[in-house]
């Protein structure tokens, strides 16, 4: 938000970067509560709209849409599909190019992890693992883009349309939004439930929940323990990715606050940003790898039958 740095305090700058571009229905009563001043009703803004601040976004409730999260996640997913499809269309048995070498390395890496962690037979697991790794990695990779670059370009675009740049929000890292990480984790969770029932039957699946690990005489304790273990899978999967990426983004934002001061602070900010970016390459790759591996492990557990 370089265009607004002169008028925003440090806390406002941080809050601005951590607020999604949210679109939804703002109820009139909620808008009245958020408005201030004697003539609040005269400039009251309510209805279907983009949220003007974090309070309005919260007041829009569950069905509000984080437009930036959806946009960047879809674009990055399409980018991954385009890359692998374009490589597949030009694949050669002769001397491969750099793109084919890289694609084959990624595919071999994923297949090796599937072979090592998945003991069942399911042709869907490897493509799913590849999709998860490539997609999550690209979404995490957006964290290495300078925090003010894309939001600045976005505010300039909206400024030409007459919008107040203070009311233009944009988060470019989809995995710093818990809505995105929980959505992916829930898809994995539903796949685990589906294959658990498909491979073991309804009776076998319920038997695992009620008879493991203490047998039929420990049914209440079994149900509590296995139920918690089952529900914790998507929660831990989502929160692990969100927490690590959110913390990394916060550090980049705090480093960005050093800019605009003295020359020493500018140089310090540049060095810190470079060092953290280099270290963060490991984090974004590791988090994509962990999400992929846990997905493979959970699906392997769903295919196992206990007797």
- Per-residue pLDDT reduced to its tens digit, 212-268: 777 676 778 878 888 888 899 999 999 999 999 999 999 988 888 888 777 888 888
Place of tokens 């990426």: 245
Give every CB contact of residue 123 below 8 A, 6+ residues apart in sequence.
none
Residues 6+ apart with CB under 8 A from 21: 50, 51, 66, 67, 68, 168, 169, 170, 171
Cα(171)–Cα(304) distance, integer angstroms = 40
Q: What pLDDT, in 10s, does the model give residues 118-162?
A: 888 889 999 999 999 999 999 999 999 888 788 878 777 766 655
| Coil, helix or strand at residue 257 | coil
Closest CA to 113 of 139, 133, 138, 141: 133
The label of the residue with tokens 């909206």 reads 158
Q: Determine contact, residues 113/133, Cβ cutoff 8 Å.
A: no
Q: DSSP letter for 19, please.
A: -
- Which residues are registered as beta bridge partners of 23? 50, 65
Structure tokens at 107: 């595919």
Q: Are 184 and 238 in contact (CB under 8 A)?
A: yes
The domain spans of the chain are 66-303
What pLDDT shows up at residue 40? 46
Tell me which residues are annotated as active site.
236, 240, 244
- Least confident range from 1-10, 102-111, 222-231: namely 1-10
Residue 172 to residue 141: CA distance in whole angstroms:
10
Categorize the per-residue pLDDT at 38 as very low, low, confident or very high, splitting at 50, 70 and 90.
very low
Residue 196 burial (10 A CB sphere; 0-12, 13-18, 19+): buried
């Amino acid at each position: 938000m370089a265009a607004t740095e002169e008028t925003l305090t440090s806390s406002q700058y941080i809050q601005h970067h951590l607020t999604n571009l949210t679109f939804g229905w703002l109820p009139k009563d909620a808008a009245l509560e958020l408005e201030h001043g004697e003539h609040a009703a005269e400039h009251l803004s309510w209805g279907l709209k983009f949220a003007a601040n974090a309070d309005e976004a919260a007041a829009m409730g569950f069905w509000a849409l984080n437009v930036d999260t959806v946009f960047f996640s879809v674009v990055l997913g399409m980018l991954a599909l385009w890359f692998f499809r374009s490589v597949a269309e030009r694949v050669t048995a002769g001397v491969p190019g750099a793109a084919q070498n890289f694609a084959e390395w990624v595919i071999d890496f994923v297949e090796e992890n599937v072979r090592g962690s998945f003991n069942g037979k399911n042709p869907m697991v490897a493509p799913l693992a590849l999709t998860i790794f490539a997609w999550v990695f690209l979404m995490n990779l957006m964290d290495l883009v300078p925090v003010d670059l894309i939001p600045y370009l976005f505010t300039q675009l909206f400024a030409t349309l007459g919008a107040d740049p203070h009311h233009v929000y944009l988060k470019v890292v989809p995995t710093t939004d818990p809505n995105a990480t929980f959505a992916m984790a829930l898809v994995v969770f539903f796949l685990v439930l589906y294959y658990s029932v498909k491979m073991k039957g309804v009776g076998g699946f319920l038997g695992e929940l009620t008879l493991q690990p203490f047998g039929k005489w420990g049914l209440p304790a079994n149900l509590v323990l296995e139920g918690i273990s089952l529900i914790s899978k998507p929660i831990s999967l989502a929160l692990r990715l969100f927490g690590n990426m959110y913390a990394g983004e916060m550090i980049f934002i705090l480093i960005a606050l050093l800019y605009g001061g003295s020359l020493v602070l500018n140089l310090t900010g540049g060095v810190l940003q470079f060092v953290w970016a280099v270290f963060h390459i490991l984090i974004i790759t590791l988090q994509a790898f962990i999400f992929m591996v846990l997905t493979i492990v959970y699906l392997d557990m769903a295919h196992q039958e206990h007797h």
